[in-house]
């Protein structure tokens, strides 16, 4: 019985071998003339080997194209070619950073332009629903404490102006580098927030005691002395050599628009006014040729 089964199995294997090795002829004829164009001798085994080889080559070629060419970005789930390209992603990040810096500079330049042309929200324009601040420049009878404060500021101002008037370092020529200019520190104190261009913080915040006088950093003309919704009582001074300084969040303004001030002359009193202020301090900005620079690089606070 066992020998019969082996014989039957062997017979099936022999039949398969015979079928695979059986020879066939593939003839190609012209459909119109029936002329023989080609004749090929084939077996099933050769046909299987040929088709399998073509399939393997096709698969390998597809894997190569997907792995080493930009075509992989179109294969779902394989991964984006853009995201895997570190250099391209770095360029994208640089472009985004430049766009943010450009937008920040554009917004701030627009704010400066509005300040220069007077297109700002002043105390007279604050909506009635918002409690408007008291105009510190209006003529009114000062209190005894305010009179004493103004006397102290005046005495200090006289000393500073006299000292700086006698100093030859106050002279500023055109196109002079900032490093060669002599600045007076508007106030002495601790820097609580540094200059940060990427954070849209175009100045520094300096802490000082209450009622500290804010001094002009250079000789110049006051072009802004008013209340601004975001920065409170603000002073802007135009200096020589394309230099502009801003003094923000003050409690009292001591100079009017058009006033000429000497370096070291008091222009305001430190305060905590404006929507962007979170505590008593001076926000001081230094602009050179239309661009903000870090005041701490040129002034010792």
Flag whether the pTM goes above 0.85.
no
Q: Do 69 and 176 belong together in one domain?
A: no
CB 268 within 8 A of CB 227: no
Q: Does 208 reside within a domain?
A: yes
Q: Does 259 reside within a domain?
A: yes
What is the spatial distance between Cα 143 and Cα 18, in angstroms, rounded to a whole number? 122
Q: Does 167 reside within a domain?
A: yes
Instruction: Tell me what pLDDT residue 279 has.
Output: 79
Which tens digit of pLDDT belongs to each residue from 112-152? Answer: 666 555 555 544 444 444 444 545 555 455 566 666 566 55
Q: Do 280 and 179 belong together in one domain?
A: yes
What is the spatial distance between Cα 219 and Cα 88, in angstroms, rounded to a whole number? 49
Q: Does 65 reside within a domain?
A: yes
Structure tokens at 26: 């593939």
Structure tokens at 168: 């030859």
Instruction: Tell me what pLDDT residue 248 has.
Output: 94
Strands 291-293 and 252-253: unpaired
Percent of the chain with pLDDT over 90: 32
Q: Does 231 reside within a domain?
A: yes
Q: Does 217 reside within a domain?
A: yes
Q: Do 148 and 55 belong together in one domain?
A: no
Instruction: Tell me what pLDDT residue 31 has.
Output: 84
What is the DSSP code string of 78-147? T--TTTT-HHHHHHHHHHHHHHHHHHHHHHHHHHHHHHHHT-S--GGGS-TTS-PPP-TTS--PPPHHHH
Q: Does 85 reside within a domain?
A: no
Q: Do 196 and 286 belong together in one domain?
A: yes
Q: Do 47 and 168 belong together in one domain?
A: no
Computed over every residue of the chain, the mean pLDDT equals 78
The enclosing domain of 157 has a CATH number of 2.70.70.10
The continuous run of DSSP H or E covering 232 comes out as strand 232-239
Which tens digit of pLDDT belongs to each residue from 81-97? Answer: 445 567 778 888 888 88
Q: How many domains does the chain have?
A: 2
pLDDT classification of 78: cutoffs 50, 70, 90: low
- Tell me the residue range of the domain where 185 lies: 140-297
Which tens digit of pLDDT belongs to each residue from 176-190? Answer: 888 889 999 999 999
pLDDT classification of 55: cutoffs 50, 70, 90: very high
Q: What is the mean pLDDT of residues 233-254?
A: 94
Structure tokens at 41: 């001798």
Q: How buried is residue 207: exposed, middle or buried, by Cβ count under 10 Å (0-12/13-18/19+)? A: middle
């Amino acid at each position: 019985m066992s020998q019969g089964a082996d014989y039957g199995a062997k017979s099936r294997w022999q039949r398969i071998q015979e079928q695979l090795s059986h020879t066939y002829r593939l003839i190609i004829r012209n459909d119109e003339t029936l002329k023989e164009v080609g004749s090929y001798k084939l077996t099933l085994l050769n046909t299987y080997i040929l088709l399998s080889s073509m399939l393997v080559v096709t698969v390998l070629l597809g894997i190569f194209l997907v792995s080493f060419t930009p075509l992989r970005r179109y294969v779902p789930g394989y991964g984006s070619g853009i995201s895997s390209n570190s250099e391209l992603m770095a360029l994208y990040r640089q472009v985004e950073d430049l766009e943010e810096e450009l937008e920040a500079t554009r917004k701030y330049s627009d704010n400066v332009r509005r300040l220069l042309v007077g297109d700002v929200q002043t105390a007279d324009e604050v909506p009635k629903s918002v409690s408007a601040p008291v105009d510190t420049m209006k003529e009114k009878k000062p209190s005894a404490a305010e009179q004493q404060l103004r006397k102290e500021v005046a005495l200090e101002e006289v000393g500073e102006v006299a000292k700086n008037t006698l100093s030859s370092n106050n002279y500023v020529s055109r196109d002079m580098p900032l490093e060669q200019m002599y600045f007076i520190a508007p106030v002495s104190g601790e820097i609580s927030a540094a200059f940060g261009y990427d954070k849209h913080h175009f100045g520094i915040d300096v802490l000082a005691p209450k009622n500290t006088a804010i001094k002009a950093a250079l000789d110049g003309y006051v072009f802004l002395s008013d209340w601004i919704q975001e920065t409170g009582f603000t002073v802007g001074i135009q200096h020589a050599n394309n230099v502009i300084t801003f003094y923000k969040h003050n409690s009292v303004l001591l100079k009017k628009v058009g006033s000429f001030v000497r370096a070291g002359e008091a222009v305001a009193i430190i305060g905590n006014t404006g929507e962007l202020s979170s505590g008593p301090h001076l926000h001081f900005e230094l602009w050179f040729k239309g661009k903000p620079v870090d005041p701490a690089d040129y002034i010792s606070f």
